[in-house]
Amino acid sequence: MGSESNARGSMSILFLVVLIDMIGFTLVIPFLTYFIQDLAHGDGFTDIGTRDRWVGIVLAAYTFGQFIFTPILGTLSDSVGRRPIILFGLISNTIFLISFGLSGSLWFALLVRFLAGAGNGNIAVARAYVGDISTPEQTAGRMGLIGAAFGLGFMIGPFIGGVLTDPATSFGGFFDTEWWKSHPYFLPCLFAGSLSATSFVFALRYLPESLPLQSRTVIDSNAPKGFKRVLNNLLGVRDLNPQIRTLILVNALFLLSFTMMHATFILFTGMEIVNGGLGYDAYQNGLIFAYVGLIGVIVQGGLIRPLVRRYNPRHLMVMGIFICGIGLGWIPYLEPTPFAIGLVAMTCIAVGNGLFQPTQNTLITFEARFQQLDLGRVMGAQEGFGALSRVIGPVFAAFVWAETVDGTGFWTYHTVFRICAIIMAFAIIAQIRMKLSMNSEEE
């Protein structure tokens, strides 16, 4: 009874920490595209295609840092515990979110986004934390609870970020100065950094360690270091069983498609109506992402537990991929009005993601346990490949967008979103013949 009560308490604190962390992280979403476009223009990149490529490159800088360091941090958490890695990630977020708001050039923005990604391995470690303290019956629900924290943060963060952008114009008064006019994106970054610092204090005081000393692995001083270790961790997936490899592949494909959309969605919604876009500003985009977060909270916080009890998690995972793919392919065909039609497409994306994330993480957790593998290593490898997808996705999408945004016929701004839908179809095909080891799996 006591251990169960402690686990519930730990989940409450982890939920709060992840929520505050995600609010801080997602605050930048509504304005990041406009911020990078301004920096690119200030650095002399005036051509639309060239300017918009930089949006994808800066977005990818964060995930490139994650790609290199998340497998290392995930494996390190198996040795030193989950708590120190989570605390380190929160400190990293605090410093580099604030620094990003002070960026005066593309190169500085690239650097601080890379460093922010390098220091934040919290996604993989938080999921490993849940696996440490949960029974197989509890895992899906608790993964869904963490997903709900992500969704709630995704709902609140973009809304606040949109509201706080350009305070000199929006609020005036104290902010009606030349400095704030020349730094229209600093206030949301400062607020985000402050939230991350608050999350650090909560975690430091109230979040216990989840991995007992007897369950930790010993760090091998002869093991490869740095980038070589990352490559070894990724190549080490070949030694995992086919089920885990397939689940990692499906997750990577899903994230590749999702991040391609993420890199170009605001480029599309912010494009002038006469050119085929929706003409939205940072505030309107913030409302859209807040709505996506709300749907994520409903699905992952309320619906996923009864759905998992009634339906096979694998079937729910496939359904999530299918529904999300429909929404992604629908995006470029949206019109400025009626606004509700756009919300239907975004609902598909949010519901699909809400079904996919907790069920996929549940399945890979079960498989890792069944194979008696270190959960931190498996989650670190998955997040490493996921980070690789998030590196490739924005860059590839930005280059496709730049080459097709002014095109005619088949090659137009629709192209990148069509590719997103096709990749989702490949994710479904990849796992059709997968046979899971878990006893509860019913084929």
The answer to whether position 443 is within a domain reads no
Is residue 173 packed enough to be buried (19+ CB in 10 Å), middle (13-18) or exposed (0-12)?
exposed
| CA distance to 138, 139, 315, 351, 440, per residue, from 309 (Å) | 11, 12, 12, 18, 11
32 pLDDT more than 80: yes
Residue 367: CATH number of its domain: 1.20.1250.20
Where does 331-374 have alpha helices with state H?
339-370
Q: Average pLDDT of 183-211?
A: 89
pTM, two decimal places: 0.75
* Closest C-alpha to 165, from 142, 189, 198: 189
Q: Average pLDDT of 4-15?
A: 74
| φ, ψ at 45 (rounded to 5°) | -95, 85
Q: How far apart, in whole angstroms, are the C-alpha atoms of residue 39 and residue 183?
A: 11
The answer to whether position 215 is within a domain reads no
The answer to whether position 175 is within a domain reads yes
The answer to whether position 310 is within a domain reads yes
**Residue 291: domain span:** 2-206+240-430
Return the ∠ at Cα 130 (arms to 125 and 134), rounded to 5°.
Answer: 150
- 244 confidence band (pLDDT: 50, 70, 90): confident
The answer to whether position 216 is within a domain reads no
- 202 confidence band (pLDDT: 50, 70, 90): confident
Q: What is the tally of structural domains in the chain?
A: 1
Residue with tokens 């930790």: 216
H/E element holding 436? none
pLDDT > 90 fraction of the chain, expressed in percent and rounded: 20
* pLDDT per residue as tens digits for the range 325-370: 999 999 988 887 777 777 888 999 999 998 998 888 888 888 887 7
CB atoms near residue 5 (< 10 Å) = 9
The answer to whether position 441 is within a domain reads no
The answer to whether position 308 is within a domain reads yes
Highest mean pLDDT among 55-64, 109-118, 426-435: 109-118
Q: How far apart, in whole angstroms, are the C-alpha atoms of residue 121 and residue 72?
A: 9
Q: How far apart, in whole angstroms, are the C-alpha atoms of residue 128 and residue 147?
A: 13
173: left (phi over 0), alpha (psi -120 to 50) or beta: left
Q: Which residues of 249-261 are buried (b: 16+ CB within 10 A; e: fewer)?
A: bbbbbbbbbbbbb
Q: How far apart, in whole angstroms, are the C-alpha atoms of residue 330 and residue 442?
A: 33
The answer to whether position 223 is within a domain reads no
